Amino acid sequence: MATLNHLKIVFTGTPGAGKTTAIGALSDTPPVVTDVRNTDASLGKENTTVGLDFGQVDLGDGQFVRLFGTPGQLRFEFMWQIIATDALGLVILIDNSRPNPLDDLAIYLDAYKDLLPTMSCAVGIGRTIECPLPTVDDFCDMLAARGLLFPVLAVDVRKREDVLTLVDTVLVQAEMRL
């Protein structure tokens, strides 16, 4: 379980959504990554995560936020629950340039459905400038249709400030639950 000194937040989402990049943008230390050469041409990227990513943010006074990233491919779904064990919160990253980003979000909502009622969560939508549809409101509507109310933010995972906003959002929700 997360302690008050060591908080765990998990980044999950589609391949290419920017989990590794987001953790690298925020981590105070060089992140540990398990990227290997991609052999799945459908992913459209050179490397892909096959284990997990790890970084951490020092909050001072001996407090750390530990950032864990899941592999995005469905074949690694068995790892998603393992990595999320004892997490304080979840950040779901969605790549809006993919063919069906709302369907992509549904995959992760279904995968974490047992944890979401008790876990803080934020949804980050990337590449919204290049691909403005679906809109952030469309994602909010989808969550509402499932009885979920989580912040949904357009983000650029390369920007530390955007990733920090996602993490802060999760931390504020967790604080409100206490």
- Could you list the pLDDT tens digit for every one of the 178 residues in the chain? 555 567 999 999 999 899 999 999 999 999 887 766 766 666 666 766 667 899 999 988 888 999 999 998 888 899 999 999 999 999 999 999 999 999 999 999 999 999 999 999 999 999 999 999 999 999 999 999 999 999 999 999 999 999 999 999 999 999 998 7
Domains of the chain, each with CATH number or no CATH: 6-177 (3.40.50.300)
Contact 23, 81 (CB under 8 A): no
Q: Which whole-number Å values give the CA distances from 168 to 58, 104, 147, 174, in the listed order?
A: 13, 24, 23, 10
List, for residues 52-72, the tens digit of each pLDDT value: 899 999 988 888 999 999 998
pLDDT of residue 73: 85
pLDDT of residue 33: 75
pLDDT of residue 75: 85
H/E segment holding residue 10: strand 6-13
- Exposed, middle or buried: residue 73 (CB in 10 Å: 0-12, 13-18, 19+)? middle
